Amino acid sequence: MFPKSTLRCMKCNREYGSEEILYSCPNCGSLLEVIIDTPTTSLEQMSKRPLGVWRYLEFLPAGEGTEIVSLEEGGTPLYKCDRLGKWAGLSKLYVKFEGANPTGSFKDRGMTLGVTKAKSLGSKAVACASTGNTSASLAAYAAKSGLTCYVILPSGKVAMGKLAQALMHGAKVISVKGNFDEALKLVMELSTKMGIYLLNSINPWRLEGQKTLAFETIDQLGHAPALLAVPMGNCGNVSAIWKGYNEFKDSGLTDSLPRMYGVQAEGASPVVNMLRAGAEKLAPVLNPETVATAIRIGNPVNWPKAARAIRESDGLSETVSDEEIIGAQRMLASLEGIGIEPASAASIAGVKKAVENGKIDRDTEAVCVCTGHLLKDPEEAIKVCGKPVEVPADFKVISGLLTN
Ligand code: F0G
C-alpha cells in the first residue's frame, strides 16, 4: 500500500536509505528530499477513504507495518469566496482553510507523517524550534503517541494560543532570547548531538504529509487551480505543495499544474528579495520583523526548495506590508466568516496585490492557503479590532447603542 521511498540530495543527487536519520546530505550538506515510487491508482479508488491526509496512502511513505499516528488531519474546507473575491478583484477566489485542522494549522498534515516516522525509527523524543504552530502541532502528536516533546521558542514572539497548546499538550517548552533562526540553529545541533528526532521542516518526511494539500485541492475542485498562493516562512510548505502537484501529474491524476505564488511579509522577505534580484543564493534578513509572527523568519532553511518551486512553476513571489496583512485578515473574517491568523492573510493580501499590479488576470482561478486559525493569536485580533465598550447592565443604555 505505502510507496517505496529513498532520500535524495537535491544538489548532488546522492541517495540514502529511508531508515537513515538525516536532515541534510552527508556528502555536500544540501537539503534532502523524499523520492517515492510513482503509484498507480485513481482519484475514484482513493475516494473510498474519507477526505484527509491518509486518503492518499499510496503517496505517503510511512512504511509497511507502521502504526499511523493520526488526529484525523486534513480534509479541510475549500471555500469559494465571492464577497472576498470582489474586494480582491478576482472572480474565482477560493480559500483552503487550514485552520480547520486538529490543532488549528497546516502543520498537522506534516506531523502525522513525521511523528509516525519518529515512532517507526524507534525514537523516544522529538524536538522542534518554532514560531508557534509547529510546536503546538508537534506537542499534540507527541502526546498522542507517548513521545517526549521538546520545543524551543523565540521569547516574546509566539502568539498566546500556540504557546497555550504546546504547554497543555505537555511539551517541555524553552524560550530563548533570540529569534526563530537562532532557535532553529540550536535545536538542530541539540537533536543531532542528543539523538532526539527533529521535526522542523528541514526533515523531509514531514513535508510528505504537507504535500497532501495539493491532492485535496484537485479532489475538491476537480482539477488543479491556476494559481496557488501560500505564505512563506521557513519555506517548507510551498515546496511540499509543489511536490504534491507534481506527483499527481506523474501518476496521471492531473494534466495541469498551478503557478505557485509565494508571499512573504515585507520585514521578513529574504526569498522574495532573492527571486527579484535573480540571485542564486539567499541573503538572510538579520532582524526580521512583522505582525505575522508565524512567518517572522530571516534565514529560511528550505529556500532552495521554495525558489525551485516558484521558478519551475513559472510562479510569482511578492511582499506584503503589515497593514495589507491585517486588512486582508479583517476582510476575510468580516466578509466570509473565516477567521485566520495574520500570517495566513499574507496569501490573500498577495493575490489582491497581484491583481492590482497586473501580474494575474481577474479571472484567474486562485486558491489561497490560509494556514492557521484566528484563535491562535487572540491578542493581535483584539489589538486591531479594539476592545468592546463597557457599560452598566442597563436596558436603556444598551438599547441606545444598538443602531441596527
Ligand atoms: N503560516 C503559518 C500560520 C505558519 O505557522 C507558518 C510557519 C507559515 C505560514 C509558513 O510556512 O515555514 O512552511 O513556509 N510556521 C513555522 C512554525 C515556522 O514554527 O510554526 P513555512
Q: Report mean pLDDT in 10-residue bins for the chain, 404 residues.
A: 95 97 97 97 98 98 92 98 98 98 98 97 97 98 98 97 98 97 97 97 98 98 98 98 98 98 98 98 97 98 98 98 98 98 98 98 98 98 96 97 86
Residue 234, ligand 1, Cβ within 6 A: yes
- Quote the ligand 1 centre to 402 CA distance (angstroms): 40
- Cβ(133) to ligand 1 under 6 A? yes
Eight-class DSSP state of 156? T
Cα(152)–Cα(127) distance, rounded to whole angstroms? Answer: 8
341 lines ligand 1 (CB under 6 A): yes
Distance CA 159, CA 180 (A): 13
Return the pLDDT at 97: 99
Report pLDDT for 164.
98
| 3-state SS, residue 256 | coil
61 lines ligand 1 (CB under 6 A): no
| HSE (side-chain half, CA atoms, 13 Å) at 368 | 33
Residue with C-alpha cell 488531519? 73
Output the pLDDT for position 63: 83
For ligand 1, atom 10, the nearest C-alpha belongs to: 233
CA distances from 65 to 101, 120, 208 (A): 26, 9, 18
C-alpha atoms less than 13 angstroms from C-alpha of 286 in its C-beta half-sphere = 0
Best residue among 95, 210, 371, 376 to mutate for probing ligand 1, ranked by most atoms within 8 Å of CB: 371
Strand ranges in 342-403 using DSSP code E only, listed in sequence order: 365-370
The Cα 308–Cα 295 span in angstroms is 20
Q: Cα(56)–Cα(50) distance, rounded to whole angstroms?
A: 10
Q: 230 in helix, strand or coil?
A: strand
| Beta sheet of 15-17, edge-to-edge order | 15-17, 5-9, 32-36
Q: Residue 264 has what pLDDT? A: 98
From the centroid of its chain, how far is CA 251? 24
Predicted local distance difference test score (pLDDT) of residue 1: 82
Ligand 1 center to 134 CA (angstroms): 7
Asked if residue 299 has its Cβ within 6 Å of ligand 1, the reply is: no
120 CA distance to ligand 1 middle (Å): 26
Q: What is the spatial distance between Cα 154 and Cα 79, in angstroms, rounded to a whole number?
A: 33
Determine the pLDDT at residue 66. 87
Asked if residue 196 lies in contact with residue 150, where contact means CB atoms within 8 angstroms, the answer is yes
Q: Is the CB of 372 under 6 A from ligand 1?
A: yes
Cβ(104) – ligand 1 distance below 6 Å: no
- CA 371-61-120 angle, 5° bins: 100
In this structure, the residue with its CA closest to atom 14 of ligand 1 is: 235
**C-alpha span between 191 and 124 (Å, rounded):** 12
295 lines ligand 1 (CB under 6 A): yes
